[in-house]
Structure formats: structure tokens, C-alpha cells
Amino acid sequence: MYKYKYIILLDIDEVIMPLDGTTWKGLMEKVLPKALKINKEERASYNVRNVYFLDDLIHNHGWFKEIPRYMHMLQHVYRTKNFTKPGQYVKCFHNTDKVLTLHNHFPLSCLGSGCTSYPIETGDAQLHHYRADCVKTLKKSCEEFRKTSVMDTAVWRFKEPLVNRVTKTLRVLGFFGDAQNSVK
């Protein structure tokens, strides 16, 4: 926490996806001026809204042949149109100068003016959440989410380097069972 300005607590089935640019650093360089226009003080956290990429949405179109099936996030590009409600199921960039303790979704205790949070606009970033189903508390909303799915290929900006690097690594590790094609 002394080395970085922000830390993020993510689960393995989540990624914060900047929609303009390719890095979290670039995203925060875009978001900070917007937040400071509203309030001149930096926030304890900067939260990103959740949107679901549900497993069963892939069956409407089948597999993308040019993408290996083991590339789960690249294969799942149909998501629910609607986001979860603002402030619910978010993930945050936590300011290490202000946050003392964390919950999975938001800061629990902070220094200074409290645990203030800035909601990052969904046009700037989204929390892509890849799941078989919605969390239990959203079961009713989840049915409505499924009815209004949309194609979202934002993750495909990373497709070529991800496919190349992951495939190379899996070959080296012997996951394909073909010793002749393993990279040395």
C-alpha cells in the first residue's frame, strides 16, 4: 500500500474494463479531473458499476471459432443490458492514503473526511462480472437482465495479445499434451 496510489480487490471472475484506452492508470487519469470538478478533495474510493456476462447467454450464438474455447472472458461477450443499481455490487479503486480497512465491495474505515466514494461513469468503465447466474439476492432482477442482453466486445481490444500469451504459456506448461509443439 506504500508503493501504489490505488489498490483494487477483485474476484477471479471480475475485471474492471476501461472503455476508452487500455489501462487502469489511463482510466484514473480520466476520472480524477471529473471527480475533482465536483469536490476538490480526492475520494477514498472510486467505484465501478457491475454488469453481468452470464454463462447461458453464450448459447444464443455459439462459440466464436477464432477464439479458443478456454478463453472464457473473450468467448462471453453477451451481457445484461442493465447494470446493478448504483452503489450495489461495485468494486473500487481504493486510495491508499485514505482507506484503512476494506470490505469486498467498498472501504469500511477511512482517514480524514470519511469513506467518500466517486461513482465512475459506465461510459468510462464497467465491472465485467462473469458468472453462471446472478447472486441469490438478485434472482428476480436476473430474469429481467437475461431478457435484455446486448453484445459487448470491449474485452476484444485485448484479444490478440491475450490469445497469443495464454496459448504460449499453456503450451509451455504442457496443457495441450503435445510435447513437439511446446515452446522452448
Which of 154-159's residues contact partners 24+ apart within 8 Å by CB, and which partners? 154/17, 154/19, 154/126, 154/128, 155/15, 155/17, 155/73, 155/74, 155/77, 155/128, 156/74, 156/77, 157/22, 158/22, 159/67, 159/74
The reported pLDDT for the residue numbered 182 is: 44
- As a whole number of angstroms, the distance between CA 177 and CA 171 comes to 8
What are the pLDDT tens digits along the chain (184 aa)? 789 999 999 999 999 999 998 899 999 999 999 999 999 999 999 999 999 999 888 666 778 999 999 999 999 999 999 999 999 999 999 999 999 999 889 999 999 888 999 999 999 999 999 998 888 888 888 888 888 889 999 999 999 999 999 999 999 999 988 654 544 4
The reported pLDDT for the residue numbered 184 is: 44
- As a whole number of angstroms, the distance between CA 106 and CA 178 comes to 45
Label residue 81 exposed, middle or buried (CB < 10 Å: 0-12, 13-18, 19+).
middle
